[in-house]
């Protein structure tokens, strides 16, 4: 009962994170005048297109001016420009929280839809396929290798992976991606330089899957090379610090097998901080890697966010920020439950 009440309080506090994030986002866009300028530019563009459509059907310039003015006034009321940004604030927050995300102004799906929910539904699986796979592989390598070398500090293997971790952490992903493209796509010509499929893409399911796999090798390799070093060093440090604790020495002094000491007294105690990085890393990866997806032309969430920022698409920026915050909140709730299961020292 006490645990359920504590988790409920935690869930409500994380829900407030979502509301506050949306509130701050809207306040920043509104108070700086960015929202009014972008909506005004959008209205002007639609009015310009509407005026051009009338020129071929109406000869009287005064009549065109009157109709265009009425249409412009209708658009301004529809976008809420006839009232201060503060008045639009509650409506915008409620629409986003109820997933009434509206339409994007500068992006569309491959089928031509401009609905933001369709864009996210199309891009999210592509990001999960690329970025989340890379993060999962990096975490697996980091936990496996980091745990192994933590049991042999100072060995050749430990020194090698310590140097590899420093190298991996130092190189930027965009530079690594460009080098991989130059080597494997330009000089050796064994892998495609970017995109998800060949042009035109294969029609058969097996051939299409193999083509997708071939296009994913370079971006996944780039991310794994850049991320795995940090995972290895982080896991090594946490496991090594735990292995030097007094309760581990007592367990060994009792004559317990080393495998049992590693599983029960070292790995389990070191699991919560490692698990925190795994869960939050996977949650963050759903947001995509902007530079990596841009370099390889991978149509995921990161590239969508980049396009939204470059084109100042206000609605898409707010919607993506909400989705990313919601993913973080869900990941945090999963961690709160897993902490209690993994670490018996955690009490509420």
Instruction: DSSP for 48-70, please give it.
Output: HHHHHHHHTT---HHHHHHHHHH
pLDDT at residue 72 tops 80? yes
Reported confidence tier of residue 183, pLDDT bands at 50, 70, 90: very high
DSSP string for residues in 91-156: HHHHHHHTT---B-SS---TTS--BHHHHHHHHHHHHIIIIIHHHHHHHHHHHHHHHHHHTSTTSH
**Bridge-partner residues for 103, per DSSP?**
115
DSSP state of 181: I
At 105-161, the pLDDT tens digits run: 778 888 888 888 888 888 888 888 888 888 888 888 988 898 888 878 888 888 899
Q: Could you report the per-residue pLDDT of 306-321, keeping only the tens digit for each? A: 888 887 777 788 788 8
pLDDT at 211 over 60: yes
**pTM more than 0.75:** no
pLDDT band of 180, cuts 50, 70, 90? very high
Mean pLDDT, residues 36-64: 77
Please give the average per-residue pLDDT across 320-337, as a whole number. 79
Residue 237 phi, psi dihedral angles, 5° rounding: -65, -45
**CA 45 to CA 48: how far, in whole Å?**
5
């Amino acid at each position: 009962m006490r645990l359920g009440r504590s988790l409920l309080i935690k869930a409500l506090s994380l829900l407030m994170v979502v509301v506050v994030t949306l509130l701050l986002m809207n306040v920043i866009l509104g108070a700086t005048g960015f929202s009014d300028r972008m909506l005004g530019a959008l209205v002007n563009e639609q009015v310009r297109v509407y005026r051009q459509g009338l020129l071929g059907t109406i000869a009287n310039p005064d009549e065109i001016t009157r109709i265009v003015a009425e249409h412009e006034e209708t658009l301004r009321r529809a976008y809420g420009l006839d009232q201060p940004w503060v008045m639009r604030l509650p409506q915008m927050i409620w629409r986003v929280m109820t997933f009434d995300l509206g339409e994007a102004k500068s992006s569309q799906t491959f089928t031509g839809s401009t609905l933001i929910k369709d864009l996210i539904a199309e891009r999210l699986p592509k990001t999960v396929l690329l970025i989340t796979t890379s993060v999962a592989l990096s975490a697996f390598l980091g936990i496996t290798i980091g745990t192994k070398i933590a049991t042999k500090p100072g060995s050749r293997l430990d020194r090698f992976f310590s140097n590899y971790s420093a190298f991996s952490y130092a190189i930027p992903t965009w530079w690594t991606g460009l080098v991989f493209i130059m080597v494997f796509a330009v000089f050796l010509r064994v892998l495609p330089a970017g995109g998800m499929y060949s042009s035109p893409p294969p029609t058969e399911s097996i051939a299409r899957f193999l083509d997708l796999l071939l296009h994913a090798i370079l971006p996944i390799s780039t991310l794994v090379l850049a991320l795995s070093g940090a995972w290895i060093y982080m896991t090594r440090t946490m496991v090594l610090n735990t292995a030097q604790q007094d309760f581990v020495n007592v367990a060994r002094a009792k004559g317990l097998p080393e495998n049992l000491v590693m599983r029960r007294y070292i790995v389990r105690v070191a699991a919560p901080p490692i698990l925190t990085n795994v869960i939050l890393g996977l949650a963050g990866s759903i947001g995509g890697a902007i530079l990596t997806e841009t370099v390889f032309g991978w149509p995921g969430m990161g590239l969508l966010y980049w396009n939204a920022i470059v084109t100042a698409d206000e609605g898409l920026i707010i919607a993506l920020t909400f989705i990313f915050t919601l993913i973080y909140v869900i990941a945090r709730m999963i961690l709160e439950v897993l902490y209690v299961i993994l670490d018996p020292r955690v009490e509420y």
